[in-house]
Amino acid sequence: MKKYFLMACLCGLTCCAVSAAELSKNGEYVLTDFGDTANAKAAQETMNKACQWIIDNGGGILIVPPAVTAPLEIRNTCQKNREGGPAVTIYDMRKGYETCYLPTVGQLNSDGAGWAGQHLNRLINMKGHGLPFSGCYQMHTSYNAVIRGAASNAGAPNLYNFENYTWDGHERPLKYVIAPGALAYDIGDAWKDVVNGIVNQNDPRTLRVVPNSDRDTEFGFAAEDPIEQAIGADPSIPVPVRVRCFNGLPDTMEAAGVDLINNGKVAMHSGIAISSGCSNRDDLNKRKDRKAPWITALTVGSVTENAVVFGADVTNSALLFSQINAHEQPIKWKHDKGETSLIVDPKSGDMSIKGSSLTVAAAKGLNGISGTNVAANNLRQINGTVPAGAKTLTVKFEHPEADIQYAILTKCSWITRDAVAEKTTDGFTVIFETPAPSKGGTIDWFLVR
């Protein structure tokens, strides 16, 4: 890609080496074509020269190949124009994988998406119909599967089935012997890429363990031995996507680690969708580890000013608990004495608090108070009219009660003893020892179940 030639200086006998890089047709260049990379100093000088040459010729991509073995520390700061302009994107291939160093500013995209060092842009504008099934045309897809080779010496063995552990008050004798040193070193032929983590009878099940002193004894592994889980160091599962921020200045634009913006004219179903092939917890016993596909769907493990902010209107609900499988979806708070749960019964819709009492400064709009599982439909009446000379009064409820298992407290406006003589689901009758005065009176009553 690069040509060297000698130019004789007219003013003397000195000759100098001058490089001339060929302008790439696709905008890609290789660092080694720009000069010496034998040591760190030479490689850095060649890097600086290459970046400047590429910018002077309209920008492009610079590849650092595995052949560059010098300890070159890459910092892509060669773009000096704060308003964009030509830039260089550097791809470092020396470590056996691709590391991308984006330009400082990048280019201002013509579609109004703003400044960016890298863009994924696709337009679907096809005639007719018949596109593949939904999910077949993502902008970007990552596949991450741990099969073998990821075990760490720092890992601890964990049983798939938590019920196989023994703890205080829970003894679980196992039907097999776990011998020290019986480490699994290869599960590659006991693995199958299946959806939902459900294991079928005909799936591959060949497991290889490290030989130990128990081989060929009654304690050694033999063909057809039932194995719940071979004990060994659990793997450290790679993270498919990780974003690390190392900003050194405060922000003026409320930037986000991940920013989702819908500038379209129609709705999208979800900003972030977390799913699996299992939505009913009754099916968890079919999974290999008997656990939910996601232990935690969203974890906030940092101090935040606000963990969740609803900064705009919602048309239906801020939080929606569907409870589609008739299972409770409680909200829980942990404390020194245990935990407190806020629960809504999936069938009746009744809301309850379990684990502690409820303290409120004031309450209003109550229709009734009940200390049982049956709700009260009436609460009280203030200044109910009692006719002059009345010795009894029948009160009719605004809403019928479920039964007569309720208590009535009464208070008259004149001095008398009274008693509730009869209770029905529609009301009650109270009698007065002293009749109501000549001008009539009033009565207050309060109902509680």
Beta bridge partners of 198: 287
In the predicted structure, residue 60 carries a pLDDT above the cut 60 = yes
Per-residue pLDDT, 271: 92
Q: What is the Cα–Cα distance from 271 to 256, expressed in whole angstroms?
A: 14
Residue 205's φ and ψ, nearest 5 degrees, are -140, 20
Q: What are the C-alpha distances in Å from 14 to residues 4, 8, 10, 35, 255?
A: 16, 7, 9, 20, 56
Q: What percent of the chain has pLDDT over 70?
A: 77
In the predicted structure, residue 44 carries a pLDDT above the cut 80 = yes
In the predicted structure, residue 362 carries a pLDDT above the cut 60 = yes
pLDDT tens for 247-297 read 888 888 888 888 888 988 999 999 999 988 889 999 988 887 888 999 999
At 402, list the tokens: 């479920």
225 Cβ neighbours under 8 A, 6+ residues apart: 176
Helix (H) or strand (E) run with residue 353 in it: strand 351-354
Per-residue pLDDT, 6: 30
Specify whether the CB–CB gap between 87 and 102 falls below 8 A: no
Q: Give the DSSP letter string of 80-104.
A: --TT--S-EEEEE-TTSS-EEE--S
Burial of 208 (0-12, 13-18, 19+ CB in 10 A): middle
Per-residue pLDDT, 323: 93
Specify whether the CB–CB gap between 53 and 21 falls below 8 A: yes
Per-residue pLDDT, 182: 56
| Average pLDDT over every residue of 417-444 | 96
| Average pLDDT over every residue of 218-226 | 70
More confident residue, 125 or 342: 342
pLDDT tens for 292-311 read 999 999 999 999 999 999 99
Helix (H) or strand (E) run with residue 409 in it: strand 407-412
Q: In degrees to the nearest 10, what's the CA dihedral of 144, 146, 147, 152?
A: 150
Helix (H) or strand (E) run with residue 52 in it: helix 40-56
Specify whether the CB–CB gap between 288 and 197 falls below 8 A: yes
Per-residue pLDDT, 303: 95
For strand 88-92 and strand 441-448, is the pairing parallel, antiparallel, or unpaired? unpaired
Per-residue pLDDT, 240: 81
Helix (H) or strand (E) run with residue 41 in it: helix 40-56
Per-residue pLDDT, 244: 86
More confident residue, 66 or 124: 66
HSE of 354, CA atoms in CB hemisphere, 13 A: 11
Q: What is the Cα–Cα distance from 372 to 131, expressed in whole angstroms?
A: 57
pLDDT tens for 174-213 read 665 555 545 666 777 776 666 555 667 787 777 777 777 7
Specify whether the CB–CB gap between 342 and 331 falls below 8 A: yes
236 Cβ neighbours under 8 A, 6+ residues apart: 150, 152, 154, 155
More confident residue, 207 or 153: 207
Share the mean pLDDT of the chain: 81
pLDDT tier for residue 320 given thresholds of 50, 70 and 90:
very high
